[in-house]
Structure 1
Amino acid sequence: MELSQYIRRKTREVPVGPVVIGGGRPVAVQSMTNTDTNDTAASVAQIERIADAGCSVVRLTTQGRREAENLGPIVARLRADGYDTAVVADVHFLPDVALTAASYADKVRINPGNYADRDGAFEKLIARCRERGVALRIGVNHGSLARRIVDEWGDTPRGMVVSAMEFLRRCRELDFDRVVVSMKSSNTRVMVAAYRLLADEMAREGMDYPLHLGVTEAGSGLEGRIKSAVGIGALLADGIGDTIRVSLTEAPEREIPVARLLADHFAERPGRFPVRHPERFSPYEFRRRSAVQVPLTRSELPADMPVLEACSKNPTAELRAALLDLEPGCPAAVSCRYCESSLETLAVKAAADLGPLFLDGLADGIRIVAPQFGEGELEEVERMILQAARVRFSRTEYIACPGCGRTLYDLEGTLARIKERTGHLKNLRIGVMGCIVNGPGEMADADYGYVGAAPGRITLYKGRTVVERNIPQHEAIDRLEALIRANGDWTDAPARAESPDDGTAAEPQNAAQ
Structure 2
Amino acid sequence: MNKTYCPSLTEYKRRLSREVKIGDLPMGGLNPIRVQSMTTVDTMDTLGSVEQTLRMVEAGCEYVRITAPSVKEAQNLLEIKKELRKRGCNVPLIADIHFTPNAAELAARIVEKVRVNPGNYADKKKFDLIEYTDASYAAEVERIRERFRPLVQICKQYGTAMRIGTNHGSLSDRILSRYGDTPLGMVESALEFLRLCEEENYYDVVLSMKASNTQVMVQAYRLLVQKLDEEGLQPYPLHLGVTEAGEAEDGRIKSAVGIGTLLEDGLGDTVRVSLTEAPEAEAPVAKALIDRYTHRAEEAKPIVAVSSEPLADSSSSDEANSQQLPATSYTIPIDPFQYHRRQTREVGNLGSQNVPRVVVDFSRLPSVEYADLRAAGHLYSAFLDKFQMSDLGADYLYSGQRPVPFMLPNGLKEIVDYAAWLDAGRRHEHYPLLTPQEYAAATVRHQALNFVRCELATLTPDVLNQLRQDHTAVLILRTDNAHAMPEIRRAFFELLNKEVNNPVIIQRQFPQLTAEQTQLYAATDVGGLLLDGLGDGVLLSTELLPERPKTEWLQTLDQLNQLSFGILQAARTRMSKTEYISCPSCGRTLFDLQETTAMIRKRTDHLKGVKIGIMGCIVNGPGEMADADYGYVGVGKGKIALYRGQEVIKKSVPEERAVDELIELMREDGRWIEPVLVEEPVGV
Q: Counterparts in 2 of 1:84-483, with a 5 A limit?
A: 84-113=90-119, 114-116=121-123, 117-118=143-144, 120-206=146-232, 207-269=234-296, 270-274=300-304, 275=306, 276-291=329-344, 292=351, 293=353, 294-298=355-359, 299-301=394-396, 303=431, 304=450, 305-326=474-495, 327-340=499-512, 342-372=514-544, 373=553, 374-483=556-665
**Kept in 2: contact 1:277–1:325 (CA 8 A):** no
The AA in structure 2 aligned to 1:352 is T
Gaps of 5+ in 2: 1-5, 124-142, 307-328, 345-350, 360-393, 397-414, 416-430, 432-449, 451-473, 545-552
Instruction: Quote the offset at 1:119 in angstroms.
Output: 6.3
Distance in 2 (CA, whole Å) between partners of 1:336 and 1:205 is 39
Q: Structure 1 residues 342 and 288, CA, compared in 2 at 3 Å: closer, same or farther?
A: same
Q: Which residue of 2 aligns with 1:31?
A: 37
Distance in 2 (CA, whole Å) between partners of 1:336 and 1:146 is 41
Distance in 2 (CA, whole Å) between partners of 1:38 and 1:180 is 27
Q: Counterparts in 2 of 1:487-506, with a 5 A limit?
A: 487-496=669-678
Distance in 2 (CA, whole Å) between partners of 1:318 and 1:497 is 45
Q: State how many pairs are aligned.
A: 500
Q: Structure 1 residues 160 and 439, CA, compared in 2 at 3 Å: closer, same or farther?
A: same
**Kept in 2: contact 1:277–1:324 (CA 8 A):** no
CA deviation profile, 1:341-370 (whole Å, cap 9, x unmatched): 532331111101221001111111111111
**Kept in 1: contact 2:206–2:236 (CA 8 A):** yes
The AA in structure 1 aligned to 2:153 is A
Q: Structure 1 residues 283 and 76, CA, compared in 2 at 3 Å: closer, same or farther?
A: same
The AA in structure 1 aligned to 2:75 is E
CA deviation profile, 1:398-438 (whole Å, cap 9, x unmatched): 11000100100011000011111111111100000001112
Distance in 2 (CA, whole Å) between partners of 1:120 and 1:74 is 31
**Kept in 1: contact 2:478–2:507 (CA 8 A):** yes
The AA in structure 2 aligned to 1:208 is P
Instruction: Quote the offset at 1:194 in angstroms.
Output: 0.4
Distance in 2 (CA, whole Å) between partners of 1:498 and 1:442 is 38
Distance in 1 (CA, whole Å) between partners of 2:653 and 2:204 is 44
Q: Structure 1 residues 494 and 118, CA, compared in 2 at 3 Å: closer, same or farther?
A: closer
Gaps of 5+ in 1: 503-513
**Kept in 1: contact 2:168–2:626 (CA 8 A):** no
The AA in structure 2 aligned to 1:421 is R
The AA in structure 1 aligned to 2:188 is V
CA deviation profile, 1:453-489 (whole Å, cap 9, x unmatched): 1000111111111111111111111111111122111
**Kept in 2: contact 1:290–1:328 (CA 8 A):** no
Q: Which residue of 1 aligns with 2:53?
A: 47
Instruction: Quote the offset at 1:309 in angstroms.
Output: 1.4
Instruction: Quote the offset at 1:497 in angstroms.
Output: 5.2
**Kept in 1: contact 2:276–2:594 (CA 8 A):** yes
SS at structure 1 position matched to 2:572: coil
Distance in 2 (CA, whole Å) between partners of 1:494 and 1:268 is 49
Instruction: Quote the offset at 1:396 in angstroms.
Output: 0.5
Distance in 1 (CA, whole Å) between partners of 2:679 and 2:194 is 55
Distance in 1 (CA, whole Å) between partners of 2:286 and 2:144 is 37
TM-score, normalised via structure 1 length: 0.94
Q: Which residue of 1 aligns with 2:313?
A: none
The AA in structure 1 aligned to 2:20 is V
Distance in 2 (CA, whole Å) between partners of 1:439 and 1:8 is 35
Distance in 2 (CA, whole Å) between partners of 1:29 and 1:144 is 24
Distance in 2 (CA, whole Å) between partners of 1:356 and 1:104 is 39
Instruction: Quote the offset at 1:205 in angstroms.
Output: 2.4
Q: Structure 1 residues 201 and 498, CA, compared in 2 at 3 Å: closer, same or farther?
A: farther
The AA in structure 1 aligned to 2:64 is V
**Kept in 2: contact 1:340–1:346 (CA 8 A):** no
**Kept in 2: contact 1:289–1:328 (CA 8 A):** no
**How high is the sequence identity, in percent, across the aligned residues?**
47
SS at structure 1 position matched to 2:338: coil
The AA in structure 2 aligned to 1:42 is G
Q: Which residue of 2 aligns with 1:60?
A: 66
Larger Rg: 2
Distance in 1 (CA, whole Å) between partners of 2:654 and 2:332 is 55
Q: Which residue of 1 aligns with 2:85?
A: 79
Instruction: Quote the offset at 1:123 in angstroms.
Output: 1.8
Distance in 2 (CA, whole Å) between partners of 1:123 and 1:392 is 45
CA deviation profile, 1:69-94 (whole Å, cap 9, x unmatched): 00101111111111121100000101
**Kept in 2: contact 1:218–1:247 (CA 8 A):** yes
Instruction: Quote the offset at 1:138 in angstroms.
Output: 0.4
Q: Which residue of 2 aligns with 1:509?
A: none
Distance in 2 (CA, whole Å) between partners of 1:93 and 1:235 is 29
CA deviation profile, 1:195-246 (whole Å, cap 9, x unmatched): 0000011112232100001000000010000000000011111111000100
Instruction: Quote the offset at 1:375 in angstroms.
Output: 2.3
Distance in 1 (CA, whole Å) between partners of 2:61 and 2:218 is 24
**Kept in 2: contact 1:230–1:388 (CA 8 A):** yes
Q: Structure 1 residues 354 and 135, CA, compared in 2 at 3 Å: closer, same or farther?
A: same
CA deviation profile, 1:239-270 (whole Å, cap 9, x unmatched): 11000100000000001110000010123332
**Kept in 2: contact 1:280–1:324 (CA 8 A):** yes
Distance in 2 (CA, whole Å) between partners of 1:7 and 1:166 is 29
Distance in 2 (CA, whole Å) between partners of 1:209 and 1:498 is 55
SS at structure 1 position matched to 2:511: coil
**Kept in 1: contact 2:576–2:608 (CA 8 A):** yes
Instruction: Quote the offset at 1:153 in angstroms.
Output: 0.3
Distance in 2 (CA, whole Å) between partners of 1:308 and 1:465 is 44
Instruction: Quote the offset at 1:118 in angstroms.
Output: 4.2
**Kept in 2: contact 1:31–1:245 (CA 8 A):** yes
Q: Which residue of 1 aligns with 2:9?
A: 3
SS at structure 1 position matched to 2:614: strand
